[in-house]
Structure 1
Amino acid sequence: MKVLFARHRWWVVLLAALIGFTGIAAQAATAAPSTDPGSSSAKLTALQSGNQTLRVGTDATFPPFEFTDANGAKMGFDIDLIRALAKKSGIKNVEFIQMPFGNIVPALQANQIDVGASAIYISAERAKAIDFSDVYYPGGLGMFVGEDNTTVKSLADLAGKKVAVQVGTKSVEWLEQNQPKAQLVQVQTNDQMFSSVKLGQADAVVTGQPAGRYFIHQQGGLKQVGERLTNENYGYAFQKSDTAIKDAFNASLATMKKDGGYDKLTAKWFGDEATAASGPAKAHALINISSITNSARPLWNGFVTTMEIIGMSLVLSLAFGMLGGFAKLSKISPIRWVGTAYVSIIRGTPFIVQLFMIYFGLPQLGVQLQPMVAGVLALGLYSGSYVTEIVRGAIQSVDKGQMEAARSCGMSSGAALRHIIVPQAFLRMLPPLGNEFVSLTKNSALVSFVTISELFLVGQTIISRTFDALTVYIFIGLVYYVITNIIGFIASTLEKKMAVYI
């Protein structure tokens, strides 16, 4: 028995480390709060006492409803109104969480947020999954085309045409029902819709009329075709269980409409809506450095967050990769099967699916992770599967005679691995590890989809305000180019310095 343990103790240690890491990750998770409707009043009381913070999910890329200023602070009609409604409801703390529009309903269902405030149309389909407040602003879809377009004059003319719409919005559903012959070009943000038309990538845009008029007033180049296509209205979204919070907001909204507070906000943000379409558009150069310099603070904060994500994910990928690599080399079948299954599953599915599964899927199983934890864990798992194969291949590339010679000198298998095999294998890992870490760095931009305000997400919020997509994307691309080249340089330098030992 002692001989058997000595032979396999290295793998036992690795398995214990893997279990330990899983425990640490579990400690970072918090159990999803109860969705029992009876807890709704208690939650409102906690919000009113300041013990909890109202989490408001919003896609701050949709002016004039929600966008950001040069310092990264969220502003717009929805932002102001939510703050006012929360104050009147006695709620002391409000936090706005940036996320793609299509993620708001899943985030509500996963209890990642308490309120969805992002110019959301009230619809019977959405009401099956979430609750809505009373109408807070009349909406309705509008059709917009290039100012020189003379071929699209009505809904019928969209047949066979490319129409830009935002993912997850009412526009998608409405066009599928009312003009199924239109070719939908689904994009993530508001500015991408309008840019698609201006760049010739789409023939028209169907979106909320107020937002379309605002874009025309700010940038020009488009015109509205006809009047409103629909008469839907905007409402704030709530979890099905949060009836007390919803009722408090409805009562506060009714009060604001009576005391004039609501009228002041609508005048502030929509006072010139009637003339916006014909108002003078602001001059817009192709490259605007001021869009970068004026937003230096949020860009720096986004860069710092990006570096934190890369650093933590890199360490985690090494940990998963070493454990996975040794697991695949284990002579203990169950451990070897675990390593093989890990690589097969992670490498065989898209990273974005894994990210969404961890952030939006796990809460349905009672495990709720913070956005940063979910993003880093997803990156570490994904990159670690590739590092696993790098580790396995490097160790197997070391001549078997090395192990035999070490064992003949009285060394155990574990000692031979630590002192003879792994040091040589590490030198051979450096080139592929450098490439994998460069790939990890570029994939880090995808964690913006789970509300992490890293560099790419900050850039999108800036574009929503300035519409300087080319300037911002060039800047972000240059930043990532510098980061990846620094990583490549470090890996190359280490490889050259360590080459003498091979």
Structure 2
Amino acid sequence: MDFQFDILRHASGDLLLGAWITIKISVLSFLFALSIGFVVGAARARSRFWSRITTPYVEIFRGTPLLIQLFFLYYGLPTIGIKLDSLTAAYVGLGLNGGAYIAEVIRGALLGVENGQEEAALSTGLRPVQALIYVLFPQALRTAVPPLVNSFSSLLKESSLVSVLAITELTRMGQLVYTRTFRPFEIYLAIGAMYFLMTYCVSWLSKFLERRLSCGG
């Protein structure tokens, strides 16, 4: 079989546009996941009551497939009067799913900080919330940053699932290009290479941050 580079040359603009949409969806969803993860993770680490309250959320979103969650948000919720457009469903689905995993990362990082650090912070007159923000979080982030970057890498790859919501991100764009060219080998090889390049950049960022944090320590 001959490899047709012309197909990739003609499709490069569409694929790059799809990659840009993938990055946009991934970044915005990850920011949403971070906000959820920090709040839920801190609550689970600092309070038994809130740990019990938030456990169902964490277990449900970690224990069910992301694809089913997306289907539920986009196709299931309208039956009870809650209608989300495809992009909103993608952001909410990826954010809630990622937030459940990030919450456990934050919880573990906070539990890894010595108890004496909080006691010392409180002895200086800081309130518990201030001690959490100004003393505990900065120390916890040293161990949390690498897995957080890996979480973004996972979310970036899982964003391909939003193609089922008719969002024209990289995977969906590749499907559309394939229907025009009938050349799956070149198209899906290019898509795989683009996902690899994006996740490789994130992996490099993770290693860079690890080195900086180690030097800072």
The bucket for the TM-score relative to the shorter chain is over 0.9
User: 96, 100, 118: which is aligned to 1:385?
Assistant: 100
Residue 354, structure 1, aligned to residue 73, structure 2 = no
Structural mapping, 1:186-335, within 5 Å: 285-331=1-47, 333=49, 335=50
Residue 479, structure 1, aligned to residue 177, structure 2 = no
Structural mapping, 1:442-457, within 5 Å: 442-457=157-172
Residue 342, structure 1, aligned to residue 51, structure 2 = no
1:140 alignment counterpart? none
1:33 alignment counterpart? none
Larger Rg over CA atoms: 1
Residue 373, structure 1, aligned to residue 82, structure 2 = no
Residue 459, structure 1, aligned to residue 179, structure 2 = no
Q: Write the distance in 2 (CA, Å) between the matches of 1:375 and 1:411.
A: 40
Q: Write the distance in 1 (CA, Å) between the matches of 2:109 and 2:40.
A: 13
Contact 2:146/2:209, CA 8 A, preserved across alignment: no
> Secondary structure of 2:83's match?
coil
RMSD: 1.4
TM-superposed CA distance for 1:380, in Å, is 0.9
After superposition, the C-alpha distances for 1:381-403 in whole angstroms (9 at most, x for unaligned) are: 11111100000000000111111
Letter in 1 for 2:117: Q
> Secondary structure of 1:415's match?
helix
1:415 alignment counterpart? 130
Contact 1:324/1:342, CA 8 A, preserved across alignment: no
Contact 2:19/2:170, CA 8 A, preserved across alignment: yes
> Secondary structure of 1:319's match?
helix
* Total equivalences in the alignment: 217
Q: Write the distance in 2 (CA, Å) between the matches of 1:459 and 1:490.
A: 27
> Secondary structure of 1:294's match?
helix
Letter in 1 for 2:133: R
- Judging changes above 3 Å, is the alpha-carbon distance between structure 1 residues 465 and 317 closer, same or farther for their aligned structure 2 residues? same
Superposed structure 1 runs of 4+ greater than 4 Å apart: none
Higher helix share: 2
1:405 alignment counterpart? 120
Q: Write the distance in 1 (CA, Å) between the matches of 2:96 and 2:47.
A: 23
1:498 alignment counterpart? 213
Contact 1:359/1:368, CA 8 A, preserved across alignment: yes
Q: Write the distance in 2 (CA, Å) between the matches of 1:399 and 1:376.
A: 35
Q: Write the distance in 2 (CA, Å) between the matches of 1:445 and 1:419.
A: 37
After superposition, the C-alpha distances for 1:130-158 in whole angstroms (9 at most, x for unaligned) are: xxxxxxxxxxxxxxxxxxxxxxxxxxxxx
Structure 1 residue ranges without an equivalent (≥5): 1-284
Q: Write the distance in 2 (CA, Å) between the matches of 1:463 and 1:441.
A: 22
Contact 1:394/1:426, CA 8 A, preserved across alignment: yes
After superposition, the C-alpha distances for 1:180-219 in whole angstroms (9 at most, x for unaligned) are: xxxxxxxxxxxxxxxxxxxxxxxxxxxxxxxxxxxxxxxx
Q: Write the distance in 1 (CA, Å) between the matches of 2:18 and 2:72.
A: 24
Structure 2 residue ranges without an equivalent (≥5): none
TM-superposed CA distance for 1:410, in Å, is 2.5
> Secondary structure of 1:295's match?
helix
Higher strand share: 1
> Secondary structure of 2:22's match?
helix
User: 483, 488, 497: which is aligned to 2:203?
Assistant: 488
Highest relative contact order (Cα 8 Å, sep 6+), 1 or 2? Answer: 2
TM-superposed CA distance for 1:295, in Å, is 1.9
TM-superposed CA distance for 1:432, in Å, is 1.0
TM-superposed CA distance for 1:331, in Å, is 2.5
1:436 alignment counterpart? 151
TM-superposed CA distance for 1:459, in Å, is 0.7
Q: Write the distance in 2 (CA, Å) between the matches of 1:336 and 1:389.
A: 11
TM-superposed CA distance for 1:442, in Å, is 0.5
Q: Write the distance in 1 (CA, Å) between the matches of 2:127 and 2:93.
A: 36
In percent, how many aligned pairs have the same letter?
35
Q: Write the distance in 1 (CA, Å) between the matches of 2:2 and 2:89.
A: 37
- Judging changes above 3 Å, is the alpha-carbon distance between structure 1 residues 494 and 383 closer, same or farther for their aligned structure 2 residues? same
> Secondary structure of 2:111's match?
helix
TM-score normalised by L of structure 2: 0.95
Contact 1:406/1:416, CA 8 A, preserved across alignment: yes
1:160 alignment counterpart? none
> Secondary structure of 2:156's match?
helix
Contact 1:327/1:338, CA 8 A, preserved across alignment: no
TM-superposed CA distance for 1:332, in Å, is 6.3
